Structure 1
């Protein structure tokens, strides 16, 4: 048997076995797992299932954190957090990378090469859509999210690994399918980003959306008591949980609260005071000299401040409440 025929036979055996390099599958599985944890934790936090309902004030590498980005008009799609779709994409990559490693026999042989095509096309779409999101952060939101940047880096890494690991006999088909996928995802992503645009703002830049709910006599009395006892509410204009807290009081009662704006670009910002108080999340209440972060029920605020009157909720607002 000549050396050329031997090489062809070995190559054929490799294609029938895995159709690519096994170590690449392992690395892709690790990166996909990181992506699942990254996007999964963001999704759970947006659903209120992970941690308190508060917005972080901590930034990384010049970013103001993820809350401003994730709470923007581009932070959701079809009523669900955008991170949920990233979670599903990373889960698909993880499944495609791992299954050929654990299956045996004909099932493994049949899935091996097809899985490389799946890995390549899914990671191509993820990388292109991540590029669109980076553009939205830079030019639309004008802020950045470290976890979103991490996801973009993971997507690009998965794309490169899929090119390295797959046994691509037909490079023409590889380029053709990759370009078609990139163009399709790119056009859909750009169209979505342009159609969303900035949400309508009834107030100026750096100002939170207006409180819609009508206050009751009880919520007004509670707000007056909190202010009289020196309680403060530390907020950021872009934080949806801060807006949620004030909606619990209603419009008239909220106007009686002592509200401290902590965002550096917020109107009447008192960032130095927030820094001095070491505020780490929004909203944060300061009651009787103690800090307590997260959205608090009115009954809890009454308990913390020693208020003995009623603290019933305000009347619901008519219409939708715009979120930052």
Structure 2
């Protein structure tokens, strides 16, 4: 008798296993693939494997561009682009959505139900963390990035689809698990955002932090040489790599550089010039009419500009 009931139960699970849920898995797989492309592009760009992502000309959602958001203190975690962790999350969703579709028999039934729990809990965490990041963009960075907004929309859609697609017999357990996951991710996310958002140095609105390092004779000579030869560096006051570049020169030498502020809300902004030059990443050096983005070692700047002054240390 028990064997008969077990067979009926398995048969029922097979019948309902992918019936109305199969299309949900397919849609989730498609959305997860879009998420992989979205976060993967950001990750590869931050690793320098592809060019800078340009979205400043789109005007979507009133965003000035992605560089301010992606280069902010909130743009990395454990020394890696934050988008990398989103990429891993979307990759896991893609696997859990697709693998049960290609399996057969009892393995498909058992793994299918477990995968719905995985999809639900993971998408819950992703949606909550995306909400934290949207808050950071709105109140911390005060700018936005269409790529990030797309990711938030995708994670929210995956959360809703996981609720629709799963065969939830115990709704109480579903709600309890979802609330616990949301609270845990929310508390950790808010704690991380608050700790990262603490200012390291004080600076006026629209002005980059002051340079603390001292310049040597060679650094001052290189800065004077670059300026005399018409070299310019295009920066944004909020850009950490721009500040690192100035720290390489030191305070006295950095004051002698021709610095072009590209942030629209920066002091003495020359946004129109930056757009005319098609500046997409910061800092970008213009030496002898050639544009080269990224913070550069002083020796490379000396070589590119034909510097023959005091040797750099």
Instruction: Tell me the TM-score normalised to structure 2 length.
Output: 0.85
Q: Is the 8 A contact 1:298 1:311 kept in 2?
A: no
- What are the superposed Cα offsets for residues 8-65 of structure 1, whole Å, 9 maximum, x if unpaired? 98643324x548622221221121122122223323333444437x998656412122
Displacement of 1:153 in angstroms is 0.4
Alignment pair present for 1:130 and 2:130: yes
Displacement of 1:145 in angstroms is 1.3
Which residue is 1:262 aligned to? 262
Which residue is 1:186 aligned to? 186
Whole-angstrom distance in 1 between the partners of 2:278 and 2:36: 32
Whole-angstrom distance in 2 between the partners of 1:216 and 1:55: 37
SS at match of 1:307: coil
Displacement of 1:93 in angstroms is 0.9
Displacement of 1:79 in angstroms is 4.0
Which residue is 1:100 aligned to? 100
Whole-angstrom distance in 2 between the partners of 1:278 and 1:22: 46
Q: Is the 8 A contact 1:58 1:280 kept in 2?
A: no
SS at match of 1:168: coil
Displacement of 1:119 in angstroms is 0.6
Whole-angstrom distance in 1 between the partners of 2:55 and 2:100: 41
Which residue is 1:73 aligned to? 73
Whole-angstrom distance in 1 between the partners of 2:194 and 2:296: 36
SS at match of 2:204: coil
Which residue is 1:4 aligned to? none
User: Bigger shift: 114-123 or 175-184?
Assistant: 175-184
Whole-angstrom distance in 2 between the partners of 1:136 and 1:291: 32
Greater RCO, CA 8 A, separation 6+: 1
- What are the superposed Cα offsets for residues 270-306 of structure 1, whole Å, 9 maximum, x if unpaired? 2233334443332222223343333333333333323
- What are the superposed Cα offsets for residues 50-96 of structure 1, whole Å, 9 maximum, x if unpaired? 437x9986564121222222333333334443222222221221121
In structure 2, the gaps of 5 or more residues are 1-7
SS at match of 1:275: helix
Whole-angstrom distance in 1 between the partners of 2:217 and 2:265: 34
Which residue is 2:289 aligned to? 289
Displacement of 1:182 in angstroms is 2.3
Q: Is the 8 A contact 2:203 2:209 kept in 1?
A: yes
- What are the superposed Cα offsets for residues 106-136 of structure 1, whole Å, 9 maximum, x if unpaired? 4323211110111111111111221122122
- What are the superposed Cα offsets for residues 155-199 of structure 1, whole Å, 9 maximum, x if unpaired? 011112112222223333333322332233233333333344332
Which residue is 2:15 aligned to? 14
- What are the superposed Cα offsets for residues 219-252 of structure 1, whole Å, 9 maximum, x if unpaired? 2222111111122111111122222322332332
Whole-angstrom distance in 1 between the partners of 2:88 and 2:192: 19
Which residue is 1:317 aligned to? none
User: Bigger shift: 35-44 or 289-298?
Assistant: 289-298
Q: Is the 8 A contact 2:120 2:162 kept in 1?
A: yes
Q: Is the 8 A contact 1:26 1:98 kept in 2?
A: yes
Instruction: Tell me the TM-score normalised to structure 1 length.
Output: 0.82
Q: CA RMSD in A?
A: 2.8
Whole-angstrom distance in 2 between the partners of 1:245 and 1:194: 26
Which residue is 2:240 aligned to? 240
Alignment pair present for 1:85 and 2:110: no
In structure 1, the gaps of 5 or more residues are 1-6, 314-324
Whole-angstrom distance in 2 between the partners of 1:141 and 1:80: 19
Displacement of 1:257 in angstroms is 1.0
Kindly tell me the number of residue pairs found equivalent between the two proteins.
Answer: 305
SS at match of 1:260: strand
